[in-house]
Structure 1
Amino acid sequence: MKRDSRLSSVLHALLHMTEHDGPMTSEALGRCLAANPVVVRRTMGLLREAGLVASDRGHAGGWRITANLDTVTLRQLHEALGEPAIFAIGNRNESPSCLVEQSVNAALEGAFADAEALLLDRFAHVTLADLAADFSRRHAERHT
């Protein structure tokens, strides 16, 4: 099963946008992400629907962040992307008649639910401002 990397890509794009003066086109973001501009537009459109970014048409147009970096959390971004599955692993059969498989499912489902709740709670406490500050620190360390 292929992993969903949209959250990572969105974070990458948004951090580039915080460092860029003015809007960034889908083509420019595509170059940053090594992604097709169509994929960038589709993904950024989800963030626009959530009120986190806006797009302007025309020669000086592109995507820009409209939300406050201090309040936008990874959890909000995960939700804006449609809450993709957290884990690429799961039960072999969701409704088994076999009692052994029912026991296995019960154990796995509990563990998956606990892990997902923990991860989503962590996502709720990490903001775009936190990531931007970490990037700035790393950039400063590399250039000193």
Structure 2
Amino acid sequence: MGANSRLTIAAHALAWIGLYQRQGHEVATSEQIGSSANTNPVVIRRLLGELRRAGLVESRRGVGAGWSLTRGLESMTLLDVYEAVEDGPLFAMHRAAPDEGCVVGHGIQPAMQGIYAGIEETLRSELARVTLEDVLRDVLAVPH
């Protein structure tokens, strides 16, 4: 089971667009962002589409096509990004119902649901306190 990188790639894209706009550019292309993230532009476009539906970016078609932020990085949190690109809970239960006749099979889901709810609440709280401005500041502080 591999780790999911959608939140990281989406945060990368938003920070990149934010920095690019600060440098005087109006829009960024998915090819430019994909090059920075070393990710196929099609993947970037899909993520940006989800970010657009969440109101974090907008796109322009035709001449001068590309993506831009709808608001400043300081007003976007990692929770905003997480909710835009992640669907469903962080952890899932069994795909098939466990054996109700087994003591562990009977009690595992209620026990794990309580644990997972606490983890999810902590995750959301932590993501809500970090803005994309914080992320970009930390990115720019990393020595080359």
Give per-residue Cα distances to partners, 1:6-60, cap 9 Å, x unaligned: 1110011111112213211111111112222111111101111111111122343
Is structure 2 residue 18 aligned with structure 1 residue 18? yes
Equivalent of 1:70, from 71, 74, 84? 74
* Conserved? CA contact 1:55–1:63, under 8 Å: yes
Identity %: 36
Structure 2: distance between partners of 1:84 and 1:44: 19
TM-score, normalization by structure 1: 0.83
Structure 1 residue ranges without an equivalent (≥5): none
- CA distance in structure 1 between the aligned counterparts of 2:63 and 2:41, rounded to whole angstroms: 16
Q: Secondary structure at the match of 1:70?
A: helix
Query: Structure 2: any 5+ residue segments left out of the alignment?
Result: none
Equivalences for 1:47-66 in 2 at 5 Å? 47-66=51-70
Equivalent residue, structure 2, for 1:34: 38
Length-normalised TM-score, structure 2: 0.83
1:13 maps to a residue whose letter is: A
Alignment coverage as a number of residue pairs: 139
Matched, 1:101 2:105: yes
Moved over 3 A (4+): 82-85, 89-96
Task: Give deviations 1:45-78, integer Å, cap 9, x for gaps.
Answer: 1111111111122343211112221121111111
CA RMSD of aligned residues (A): 2.1
